Structure 1
Amino acid sequence: MTSIAKAVPARFKAMVIMAAGTGMRWSELAGLTVDRVDFLRRVVKVDRQSARDRKDGLFIPPKTKASNRTIPLPRLVIDALAVHIAAYGISDPEGLIFTSAQGKPLNYQNWRPRKHENGLVS
Protein backbone atom coordinates (compact mmCIF):
# COMPACT_ATOMS: atom_id res chain seq x y z
CA MET A 1 0.00 0.00 0.00
CA THR A 2 2.69 2.50 0.92
CA SER A 3 4.75 1.69 -2.22
CA ILE A 4 1.89 2.80 -4.43
CA ALA A 5 1.27 5.86 -2.26
CA LYS A 6 4.91 6.87 -2.70
CA ALA A 7 4.54 6.68 -6.48
CA VAL A 8 1.69 9.20 -6.76
CA PRO A 9 1.90 12.97 -6.32
CA ALA A 10 1.96 14.01 -2.64
CA ARG A 11 -1.50 15.53 -2.98
CA PHE A 12 -2.99 12.05 -3.59
CA LYS A 13 -0.91 9.96 -1.18
CA ALA A 14 -3.63 9.93 1.51
CA MET A 15 -6.27 9.15 -1.12
CA VAL A 16 -4.37 6.04 -2.24
CA ILE A 17 -3.81 4.93 1.37
CA MET A 18 -7.48 5.45 2.15
CA ALA A 19 -8.59 3.54 -0.95
CA ALA A 20 -6.38 0.60 -0.06
CA GLY A 21 -7.28 0.68 3.63
CA THR A 22 -11.04 0.98 3.20
CA GLY A 23 -12.00 -0.32 -0.23
CA MET A 24 -13.87 2.91 -0.98
CA ARG A 25 -14.66 3.61 -4.62
CA TRP A 26 -12.99 6.50 -6.45
CA SER A 27 -16.22 8.50 -6.57
CA GLU A 28 -16.73 7.99 -2.82
CA LEU A 29 -13.23 9.28 -2.11
CA ALA A 30 -13.64 12.20 -4.52
CA GLY A 31 -16.84 13.20 -2.69
CA LEU A 32 -15.48 12.75 0.84
CA THR A 33 -15.79 15.73 3.16
CA VAL A 34 -14.25 16.25 6.58
CA ASP A 35 -17.60 15.93 8.37
CA ARG A 36 -17.91 12.31 7.17
CA VAL A 37 -14.76 11.25 9.05
CA ASP A 38 -15.01 10.56 12.78
CA PHE A 39 -11.39 10.72 13.93
CA LEU A 40 -12.25 9.87 17.54
CA ARG A 41 -14.12 6.67 16.66
CA ARG A 42 -11.86 5.97 13.66
CA VAL A 43 -14.67 5.48 11.14
CA VAL A 44 -15.84 7.07 7.91
CA LYS A 45 -19.49 7.41 6.92
CA VAL A 46 -20.19 6.70 3.24
CA ASP A 47 -23.59 8.08 2.34
CA ARG A 48 -22.85 9.91 -0.92
CA GLN A 49 -20.36 10.12 -3.75
CA SER A 50 -19.04 12.65 -6.20
CA ALA A 51 -21.33 13.28 -9.17
CA ARG A 52 -19.44 12.73 -12.40
CA ASP A 53 -21.49 15.11 -14.54
CA ARG A 54 -22.10 17.70 -11.78
CA LYS A 55 -25.39 18.74 -13.41
CA ASP A 56 -27.37 17.97 -10.25
CA GLY A 57 -24.78 19.24 -7.79
CA LEU A 58 -21.55 17.95 -6.33
CA PHE A 59 -22.95 14.82 -4.64
CA ILE A 60 -25.23 11.94 -5.54
CA PRO A 61 -26.34 8.92 -3.48
CA PRO A 62 -24.16 5.80 -3.52
CA LYS A 63 -24.81 3.11 -6.14
CA THR A 64 -26.94 0.86 -3.90
CA LYS A 65 -28.52 0.84 -0.44
CA ALA A 66 -25.71 -1.48 0.70
CA SER A 67 -23.20 1.16 -0.38
CA ASN A 68 -24.44 3.35 2.50
CA ARG A 69 -22.08 2.19 5.21
CA THR A 70 -19.73 3.06 8.02
CA ILE A 71 -16.19 1.80 7.53
CA PRO A 72 -13.59 1.36 10.28
CA LEU A 73 -10.36 3.24 9.62
CA PRO A 74 -6.99 1.64 10.34
CA ARG A 75 -4.45 3.81 12.18
CA LEU A 76 -2.41 4.21 8.97
CA VAL A 77 -5.44 5.73 7.22
CA ILE A 78 -6.30 8.05 10.13
CA ASP A 79 -2.71 9.27 10.31
CA ALA A 80 -2.51 9.86 6.53
CA LEU A 81 -5.80 11.79 6.58
CA ALA A 82 -4.69 13.96 9.50
CA VAL A 83 -1.40 14.81 7.76
CA HIS A 84 -3.22 15.54 4.49
CA ILE A 85 -5.84 17.80 6.09
CA ALA A 86 -3.16 19.76 7.95
CA ALA A 87 -0.87 20.00 4.90
CA TYR A 88 -3.58 21.35 2.61
CA GLY A 89 -5.22 23.63 5.17
CA ILE A 90 -8.64 22.02 5.02
CA SER A 91 -10.66 23.69 7.76
CA ASP A 92 -14.25 23.66 6.53
CA PRO A 93 -16.12 20.61 7.95
CA GLU A 94 -18.04 20.41 4.68
CA GLY A 95 -14.91 20.87 2.60
CA LEU A 96 -13.72 18.19 0.23
CA ILE A 97 -10.71 16.30 1.52
CA PHE A 98 -9.32 15.40 -1.90
CA THR A 99 -9.20 18.11 -4.56
CA SER A 100 -7.20 19.13 -7.61
CA ALA A 101 -4.07 21.26 -7.24
CA GLN A 102 -6.35 24.27 -7.80
CA GLY A 103 -8.60 23.22 -4.90
CA LYS A 104 -11.43 22.18 -7.23
CA PRO A 105 -13.45 18.94 -7.04
CA LEU A 106 -11.70 16.02 -8.70
CA ASN A 107 -12.86 15.12 -12.19
CA TYR A 108 -12.77 11.41 -13.04
CA GLN A 109 -12.15 12.09 -16.72
CA ASN A 110 -8.95 13.98 -15.91
CA TRP A 111 -7.86 11.59 -13.16
CA ARG A 112 -7.20 8.36 -15.04
CA PRO A 113 -4.47 8.01 -17.67
CA ARG A 114 -5.44 7.28 -21.25
CA LYS A 115 -3.59 5.34 -23.90
CA HIS A 116 -3.32 7.23 -27.19
CA GLU A 117 -3.19 5.83 -30.72
CA ASN A 118 0.61 6.22 -30.71
CA GLY A 119 0.85 4.00 -27.59
CA LEU A 120 1.76 6.85 -25.24
CA VAL A 121 -0.09 7.24 -21.96
CA SER A 122 -1.15 10.65 -20.71
Structure 2
Amino acid sequence: MPKYKVNRGLTVPQARAVLKAARDHRLYALYVLALCLGLRRGELLGLRWADVDLEAGKLEVVQSLQRVAGRLQFVRPKTSDSERTVPLPPICVEALREHRRKQFAERSNRWEEWTEHGLVFPSRCGTPMEPDNLRRSWGAIREAAGLGEMRFHDLRHTCVTLLLNLGVPPQVVRDIVGHSDIEVTMTIYAHASLDDKRIALRKLGDALG
Protein backbone atom coordinates (compact mmCIF):
# COMPACT_ATOMS: atom_id res chain seq x y z
CA MET A 1 0.00 0.00 0.00
CA PRO A 2 1.37 3.48 -0.81
CA LYS A 3 2.63 5.58 2.07
CA TYR A 4 1.27 9.11 2.27
CA LYS A 5 2.92 12.11 3.85
CA VAL A 6 1.12 13.63 6.79
CA ASN A 7 -1.16 16.65 6.31
CA ARG A 8 -1.06 16.97 2.52
CA GLY A 9 -4.59 18.20 1.89
CA LEU A 10 -5.78 21.79 1.56
CA THR A 11 -8.26 23.54 3.81
CA VAL A 12 -11.46 24.91 2.28
CA PRO A 13 -10.03 28.48 2.23
CA GLN A 14 -6.85 27.19 0.54
CA ALA A 15 -8.87 25.25 -2.04
CA ARG A 16 -10.89 28.40 -2.78
CA ALA A 17 -7.63 30.32 -3.14
CA VAL A 18 -6.48 27.78 -5.76
CA LEU A 19 -9.67 28.22 -7.79
CA LYS A 20 -9.43 32.00 -7.50
CA ALA A 21 -5.78 31.94 -8.66
CA ALA A 22 -6.69 29.61 -11.56
CA ARG A 23 -9.84 31.48 -12.61
CA ASP A 24 -8.42 33.10 -15.76
CA HIS A 25 -6.06 30.24 -16.61
CA ARG A 26 -6.74 28.07 -19.68
CA LEU A 27 -6.71 25.02 -17.35
CA TYR A 28 -9.19 26.41 -14.83
CA ALA A 29 -11.62 23.52 -15.46
CA LEU A 30 -8.81 21.02 -14.83
CA TYR A 31 -8.26 22.46 -11.35
CA VAL A 32 -12.00 22.40 -10.66
CA LEU A 33 -12.12 18.68 -11.57
CA ALA A 34 -8.97 17.90 -9.59
CA LEU A 35 -10.40 19.46 -6.42
CA CYS A 36 -14.04 18.41 -6.79
CA LEU A 37 -13.60 14.90 -8.21
CA GLY A 38 -10.10 13.93 -7.04
CA LEU A 39 -9.01 12.86 -10.53
CA ARG A 40 -5.36 11.84 -10.88
CA ARG A 41 -3.05 13.91 -13.11
CA GLY A 42 -2.88 11.18 -15.78
CA GLU A 43 -6.67 10.75 -15.70
CA LEU A 44 -7.18 14.49 -16.30
CA LEU A 45 -4.65 14.64 -19.12
CA GLY A 46 -6.14 11.49 -20.69
CA LEU A 47 -9.76 12.67 -20.48
CA ARG A 48 -11.55 12.93 -23.85
CA TRP A 49 -14.70 14.85 -24.69
CA ALA A 50 -16.15 11.49 -25.72
CA ASP A 51 -15.85 10.43 -22.06
CA VAL A 52 -17.80 13.49 -20.84
CA ASP A 53 -21.60 13.82 -20.92
CA LEU A 54 -22.50 17.35 -19.81
CA GLU A 55 -26.22 16.81 -20.43
CA ALA A 56 -26.34 13.77 -18.14
CA GLY A 57 -23.79 15.35 -15.78
CA LYS A 58 -21.20 12.58 -15.66
CA LEU A 59 -17.81 11.51 -16.99
CA GLU A 60 -16.10 8.16 -17.49
CA VAL A 61 -12.54 7.50 -16.39
CA VAL A 62 -11.30 4.96 -18.96
CA GLN A 63 -7.72 5.96 -19.76
CA SER A 64 -4.73 7.75 -18.34
CA LEU A 65 -1.86 9.63 -20.00
CA GLN A 66 1.46 8.21 -18.77
CA ARG A 67 5.07 8.25 -19.84
CA VAL A 68 5.97 4.71 -20.86
CA ALA A 69 9.52 3.94 -22.03
CA GLY A 70 10.11 7.67 -22.53
CA ARG A 71 6.98 8.26 -24.64
CA LEU A 72 3.61 9.69 -23.67
CA GLN A 73 1.00 6.98 -24.09
CA PHE A 74 -2.63 6.43 -23.22
CA VAL A 75 -2.99 3.45 -20.89
CA ARG A 76 -5.81 1.81 -19.00
CA PRO A 77 -6.26 3.09 -15.43
CA LYS A 78 -3.97 1.38 -12.95
CA THR A 79 -6.64 -0.82 -11.33
CA SER A 80 -10.14 -1.95 -12.20
CA ASP A 81 -11.42 0.33 -9.43
CA SER A 82 -9.80 3.28 -11.19
CA GLU A 83 -12.15 2.77 -14.16
CA ARG A 84 -15.27 4.50 -12.98
CA THR A 85 -18.23 6.74 -13.74
CA VAL A 86 -18.19 10.00 -11.81
CA PRO A 87 -21.21 12.34 -11.53
CA LEU A 88 -20.49 15.99 -12.31
CA PRO A 89 -21.75 18.57 -9.80
CA PRO A 90 -22.90 21.91 -11.27
CA ILE A 91 -19.54 23.64 -10.57
CA CYS A 92 -17.84 21.05 -12.81
CA VAL A 93 -20.47 21.17 -15.56
CA GLU A 94 -20.25 24.98 -15.73
CA ALA A 95 -16.44 24.95 -15.78
CA LEU A 96 -16.39 22.32 -18.56
CA ARG A 97 -18.97 24.18 -20.67
CA GLU A 98 -16.90 27.37 -20.46
CA HIS A 99 -13.72 25.38 -21.15
CA ARG A 100 -15.26 23.81 -24.26
CA ARG A 101 -16.21 27.25 -25.62
CA LYS A 102 -12.71 28.59 -25.03
CA GLN A 103 -11.12 25.49 -26.56
CA PHE A 104 -13.23 25.88 -29.70
CA ALA A 105 -11.96 29.47 -30.05
CA GLU A 106 -8.38 28.37 -29.34
CA ARG A 107 -8.63 25.66 -31.99
CA SER A 108 -10.08 28.14 -34.53
CA ASN A 109 -7.24 30.59 -33.89
CA ARG A 110 -4.58 27.90 -34.24
CA TRP A 111 -6.16 25.73 -36.92
CA GLU A 112 -2.95 25.54 -38.99
CA GLU A 113 -0.95 23.95 -36.16
CA TRP A 114 -3.81 22.24 -34.28
CA THR A 115 -3.83 18.41 -34.24
CA GLU A 116 -7.17 17.17 -32.93
CA HIS A 117 -7.02 14.31 -30.41
CA GLY A 118 -10.44 14.88 -28.82
CA LEU A 119 -8.80 15.69 -25.48
CA VAL A 120 -10.44 17.86 -22.86
CA PHE A 121 -7.09 19.20 -21.63
CA PRO A 122 -4.62 19.09 -24.52
CA SER A 123 -1.58 21.24 -25.20
CA ARG A 124 -2.01 24.58 -26.99
CA CYS A 125 -1.90 22.73 -30.32
CA GLY A 126 -4.32 19.90 -29.47
CA THR A 127 -1.76 17.18 -28.73
CA PRO A 128 -1.44 15.33 -25.39
CA MET A 129 -0.06 17.70 -22.77
CA GLU A 130 3.41 17.17 -21.34
CA PRO A 131 3.00 16.52 -17.59
CA ASP A 132 5.89 18.97 -17.01
CA ASN A 133 3.74 21.73 -18.51
CA LEU A 134 1.00 20.99 -15.99
CA ARG A 135 3.63 20.98 -13.25
CA ARG A 136 4.74 24.45 -14.30
CA SER A 137 1.14 25.67 -14.42
CA TRP A 138 0.53 24.29 -10.93
CA GLY A 139 3.73 25.93 -9.67
CA ALA A 140 2.48 29.36 -10.73
CA ILE A 141 -1.02 28.83 -9.32
CA ARG A 142 0.33 27.37 -6.09
CA GLU A 143 2.52 30.44 -5.64
CA ALA A 144 -0.35 32.84 -6.42
CA ALA A 145 -2.51 31.03 -3.85
CA GLY A 146 0.29 31.19 -1.23
CA LEU A 147 0.53 27.43 -0.75
CA GLY A 148 4.24 26.80 -0.38
CA GLU A 149 5.34 23.31 -1.42
CA MET A 150 1.94 21.67 -2.01
CA ARG A 151 2.06 19.03 -4.75
CA PHE A 152 -0.53 18.76 -7.54
CA HIS A 153 -1.42 15.31 -6.16
CA ASP A 154 -2.44 17.00 -2.90
CA LEU A 155 -5.52 18.31 -4.72
CA ARG A 156 -6.67 14.68 -4.88
CA HIS A 157 -6.02 14.23 -1.16
CA THR A 158 -7.94 17.46 -0.55
CA CYS A 159 -11.00 16.04 -2.33
CA VAL A 160 -10.89 12.91 -0.14
CA THR A 161 -10.49 14.86 3.09
CA LEU A 162 -13.15 17.47 2.36
CA LEU A 163 -15.72 14.83 1.32
CA LEU A 164 -15.09 12.83 4.50
CA ASN A 165 -15.27 16.03 6.58
CA LEU A 166 -18.69 16.67 5.00
CA GLY A 167 -19.85 13.30 6.32
CA VAL A 168 -19.80 11.39 3.03
CA PRO A 169 -19.46 7.64 3.76
CA PRO A 170 -15.90 6.35 3.14
CA GLN A 171 -17.04 3.73 0.61
CA VAL A 172 -18.71 6.45 -1.49
CA VAL A 173 -15.55 8.58 -1.37
CA ARG A 174 -13.49 5.55 -2.38
CA ASP A 175 -15.71 4.97 -5.42
CA ILE A 176 -15.57 8.65 -6.45
CA VAL A 177 -11.77 8.85 -6.44
CA GLY A 178 -11.14 5.26 -7.59
CA HIS A 179 -9.11 3.92 -4.67
CA SER A 180 -8.55 0.16 -4.85
CA ASP A 181 -8.81 -0.21 -1.08
CA ILE A 182 -10.83 1.74 1.47
CA GLU A 183 -7.77 1.70 3.73
CA VAL A 184 -6.04 4.06 1.28
CA THR A 185 -9.00 6.45 1.59
CA MET A 186 -8.91 6.33 5.37
CA THR A 187 -5.10 6.58 5.59
CA ILE A 188 -5.18 9.91 3.73
CA TYR A 189 -7.96 11.09 6.03
CA ALA A 190 -6.27 9.94 9.23
CA HIS A 191 -3.14 11.85 8.27
CA ALA A 192 -4.92 14.93 7.03
CA SER A 193 -7.08 15.23 10.15
CA LEU A 194 -4.21 15.60 12.64
CA ASP A 195 -5.39 19.13 13.45
CA ASP A 196 -8.87 17.77 14.18
CA LYS A 197 -7.36 15.28 16.63
CA ARG A 198 -5.37 18.08 18.29
CA ILE A 199 -8.52 20.17 18.74
CA ALA A 200 -10.44 17.16 20.11
CA LEU A 201 -7.72 16.32 22.63
CA ARG A 202 -7.43 19.95 23.69
CA LYS A 203 -11.19 19.91 24.41
CA LEU A 204 -10.75 16.73 26.44
CA GLY A 205 -7.84 18.26 28.31
CA ASP A 206 -9.91 21.36 29.04
CA ALA A 207 -12.78 19.21 30.30
CA LEU A 208 -10.47 17.31 32.66
CA GLY A 209 -8.39 20.31 33.72
The match for 2:21 is: 7
Give the CA deviation at 1:33: 0.6
1:79-104 Cα distance to aligned partner (Å, 9 max, x none) = 000000111107xx961111223333
Q: CA-atom RMSD, angstroms?
A: 2.7
Structure 1 gaps, min length 5: 115-122
Give, in whole Å, the separation in 2 of the partners of 1:7 and 1:22: 19
Query: Under a length normalisation based on structure 1, what TM-score does the superposition of the two structures give?
Result: 0.79
- What is the letter of the counterpart of residue 80 of structure 2? K
Runs of 4+ in 1 over 4 A off after TM superposition: 54-57
Q: 8 Å contact 1:34–1:94 — kept in the other structure?
A: no
76-85 vs 99-108, which moves further: 99-108
Change (3 A) 1:67 1:7: same
Paired residues for 1:9-24 under 5 Å: 10-24=25-39
Counting matched residue pairs gives 114
Q: 8 Å contact 2:117–2:128 — kept in the other structure?
A: no
Paired residues for 1:1-122 under 5 Å: 1-8=15-22, 10-53=25-68, 58-89=73-104, 95-113=118-136
1:21-68 Cα distance to aligned partner (Å, 9 max, x none) = 111101000011101011121111001111324867741000101001
Give, in whole Å, the separation in 2 of the partners of 1:111 and 1:56: 16
Query: Under a length normalisation based on structure 2, what TM-score does the superposition of the two structures give?
Result: 0.48
- What is the letter of the counterpart of residue 104 of structure 1? T
Give, in whole Å, the separation in 2 of the partners of 1:76 and 1:2: 13
The match for 2:176 is: none
Change (3 A) 1:75 1:42: same
Give, in whole Å, the separation in 2 of the partners of 1:48 and 1:102: 21
Q: 8 Å contact 1:18–1:24 — kept in the other structure?
A: yes
Q: Which has the larger radius of gyration?
A: 2
SS of corresponding position for 1:51: strand
Give the CA deviation at 1:109: 2.8
Structure 2 gaps, min length 5: 1-14, 108-115, 140-209
